[in-house]
Structure 1
Amino acid sequence: MSKKISYLLGIAVTIIIGTILYLQFCCNCCKAPQTVNQETVTAAPETKTNPFVLSGPEINYQCNDNFNFLQNSSSLITPVSDSITVGIEKLKEVLVKNPKQKITITGYALTDEKNTTTFENLALARAHDIKTFLISKGFPESQLETNGEIADSWKTTGDTLLGPLKFQFNELEAAVPDTVNWTALKEEINADPLVLYFNTNQSSDNLSKEEHQKVVKTAKYVNHVPASKVLVTGHSDNAGGREANVLLARKRAEFTKNYLVKNGIKASNIEVVSKGPDEPVSENETAQGRAKNRRSVVTIK
């Protein structure tokens, strides 16, 4: 065999052996990569929030906390958070600095919520409660207005509505001539005042539609004439001792005051007195007469 043939056979043998070794030890490199099981990641539950937003001239503030209300309630849940306090202080600074700036507070309520206030709807009652809260913090009352809207849905957590409010910045409009005869309204209120009657040692705020309207008129007058005072006078029958009746009559007047405060009249505008059994409107010899004497009367001073 010639050297040339031997050389070629050597090359062929080398190639064959190399191929065998490659297939034996490197074939696994050609296989498709195995799928690596990845650990399932569970997303964190979404936190329910409805941010508190103040966006207007000279202010742009937002935080995740808000003014919250229980369902069917017109009363703000207190205390409010520190972040809300910071926001309303910034807002107060803007209003004090710009006396022509006006804020409209729009309250919201769900269609299936029950309105037990004398306001037109629960949404308006909530807006008024926020207005009262802001006034207690030193806000100028003349720069705050209220509005109410009914919504089909709202962000909630449990039985709490999260921030059912909106703050809108508006310029104060030119003064509109006052067409209401406030003197005549005061005379009308006092000529046919709101009178609440009480069972013995009991009280009730289940007012009729006509009585609710009297509360609305009284609130309208007092809110327009800030220096005015509502006088709530408590009375009793003559059953029992005089001192006890004077105290009982005052409790009835205080009950009436609290009801008026809940329905839009500031406590500072209400004065309470007790006449006890001294000014009966009917005889005390009959049950019917004594029932008429157990009363509180609301007038404008």
Structure 2
Amino acid sequence: MKYAYLVGIVLSILLGSFFNWILCCEISDTTGVEEDNGTLTEKVATGNNPFIISDNTGDFEYQSDNNFNFDISNFIIKRPVSPEIDQGVTSLKSYIGNQNNKFVDITGYYDPAEENKSAFPNLGLARANAVKNYLLSLGVSSKKLNIHGAVKGGLLSTKDSIIEGPVSVAITENANIKDAQAVVDAIKQNPIVLHFDSGKSTIQLTQEQREKYLDIVRALDKVDHVSILVEGHTDNTGTPEGNLVLGKKRASFIKDYLVTNGVTPIRIQTVSKGQDEPIAENETEQGRSQNRRIVITVN
């Protein structure tokens, strides 16, 4: 009798372990993926917005349940990106490569409740620019790519604060750009000017400055041999040598900000003018505050 009782206990333990293993494996299949090296990593979240590329005037179409994902109020693409997206982009590159009348419209979406922390006029444009840069990294020509931003409600109803797939990609026959060289000339005449207060470490662009920044980014995409020039200027407080160093530090700070906002570092030049090019008198605090500035232009 005692022997049968012990056998029953052992069988209960074995059955419990078996079902626990089954359930564990089933749960793991929905939350992670086993890599070749045997480690478990989190899957890319799949949302309600599939990744679709289509040409309404041609015969190209690609669709994947995976898409580009972003954190709320953020424009940095969540990694890793699904290999299915890379496959779609590679097919897109081959399709439009030799067709001069084919372009790609990338539209990024944002919820009106999100905070725009980017240098772009809206968060949708910042997301579209991030996706554009991803396509560039896979060899798609920047001259083929146009970015747009649009508001779209309901994006915040997601899990884990991740917005799933707030982007669309469409093939068009409309270049949809202004005269890029004219934009370059306009920026040279009316650059972005930022003023520095002592100890300032954040950047707050006005809406007008954000629009100028968008023009600069689009010009970089469409005009060859154009780069961003960041000039650092100071007042005459201190020594000329020290102000040259200070102007360079401020210009480098802005360069880092622009890189964060999607500009390739090699497309940005920095220079310090120190105190040599004042735009106001240094005898007053108001004049000195105007001279402490950063000028963002193109050359």
TM-score by length of 2: 0.68
Provide the C-alpha distance between the structure 1 equivalents of 2:211 and 2:101, rounded to a whole number of angstroms: 32
1:250 corresponds to which residue? 248
> 1:273: how far off?
0.8
User: SS at the partner of 1:147?
Assistant: strand
Query: Structure 1 pair 233/160, CA: closer, same or farther in 2 (3 Å)?
Result: same
User: SS at the partner of 2:97?
Assistant: helix
Rg (Cα) greater in structure: 1
CA contact (8 A) 1:66 1:84 kept: yes
1:288 corresponds to which residue? 286
Identity of aligned residues (%): 36
1:93 corresponds to which residue? 94
> 1:206: how far off?
1.4
Provide the C-alpha distance between the structure 2 equivalents of 1:277 and 1:152, rounded to a whole number of angstroms: 48
Query: Structure 1 pair 62/208, CA: closer, same or farther in 2 (3 Å)?
Result: closer
> 1:134: how far off?
1.1
Provide the C-alpha distance between the structure 2 equivalents of 1:164 and 1:283, rounded to a whole number of angstroms: 49
Provide the C-alpha distance between the structure 1 equivalents of 2:107 and 2:217, rounded to a whole number of angstroms: 20
Question: Of 165, 168, 174, which aligns to 1:166?
Answer: 168
> 1:104: how far off?
2.2
CA contact (8 A) 1:189 1:299 kept: yes
Provide the C-alpha distance between the structure 1 equivalents of 2:270 and 2:282, rounded to a whole number of angstroms: 24
> 1:188: how far off?
4.4
CA contact (8 A) 1:201 1:248 kept: no
Q: Which amino acid aligns with 2:162?
A: T
Query: Structure 1 pair 123/212, CA: closer, same or farther in 2 (3 Å)?
Result: closer
> 1:122: how far off?
2.2
CA contact (8 A) 2:121 2:207 kept: no
- Asked whether 1:197 is paired with 2:198, we answer no
> 1:71: how far off?
0.7
CA contact (8 A) 2:180 2:223 kept: no
Matches within 5 A, 1:37-186: 49-50=46-47, 51-54=50-53, 61-96=62-97, 98-154=99-155, 156-170=158-172, 172-173=173-174, 180=179, 182-183=181-182, 186=184
1:61-91 C-alpha deviation (Å, 9 max, x unpaired): 5544321101111222234244433333333
CA contact (8 A) 1:232 1:296 kept: yes
CA contact (8 A) 1:102 1:169 kept: yes
CA contact (8 A) 2:245 2:274 kept: yes
CA contact (8 A) 1:203 1:252 kept: no
User: SS at the partner of 1:125?
Assistant: helix
Provide the C-alpha distance between the structure 1 equivalents of 2:181 and 2:61, rounded to a whole number of angstroms: 40
Name stretches of at least 5 consecutive residues in structure 2 with no aligned partner.
1-22, 32-44
Query: Structure 1 pair 285/265, CA: closer, same or farther in 2 (3 Å)?
Result: same
Question: Of 222, 227, 230, which aligns to 1:229?
Answer: 227
> 1:297: how far off?
1.4
CA contact (8 A) 2:71 2:163 kept: yes
Query: Structure 1 pair 216/82, CA: closer, same or farther in 2 (3 Å)?
Result: closer
Provide the C-alpha distance between the structure 2 equivalents of 1:92 and 1:114, rounded to a whole number of angstroms: 33
Provide the C-alpha distance between the structure 2 equivalents of 1:137 and 1:165, rounded to a whole number of angstroms: 18
Residue correspondences, number: 258
Q: Which amino acid aligns with 2:150?
A: E
> 1:197: how far off?
1.2
> 1:49: how far off?
2.0
Provide the C-alpha distance between the structure 2 equivalents of 1:296 and 1:240, rounded to a whole number of angstroms: 18
User: SS at the partner of 1:86?
Assistant: helix
Provide the C-alpha distance between the structure 1 equivalents of 2:88 and 2:129, rounded to a whole number of angstroms: 19
1:12 corresponds to which residue? none
Q: Which amino acid aligns with 2:134?
A: F
Query: Structure 1 pair 278/149, CA: closer, same or farther in 2 (3 Å)?
Result: closer
Query: Structure 1 pair 159/63, CA: closer, same or farther in 2 (3 Å)?
Result: same
Matches within 5 A, 1:256-295: 256-261=254-259, 266-295=264-293
Query: Structure 1 pair 295/86, CA: closer, same or farther in 2 (3 Å)?
Result: same
Query: Structure 1 pair 243/163, CA: closer, same or farther in 2 (3 Å)?
Result: same
Provide the C-alpha distance between the structure 2 equivalents of 1:146 and 1:279, rounded to a whole number of angstroms: 36
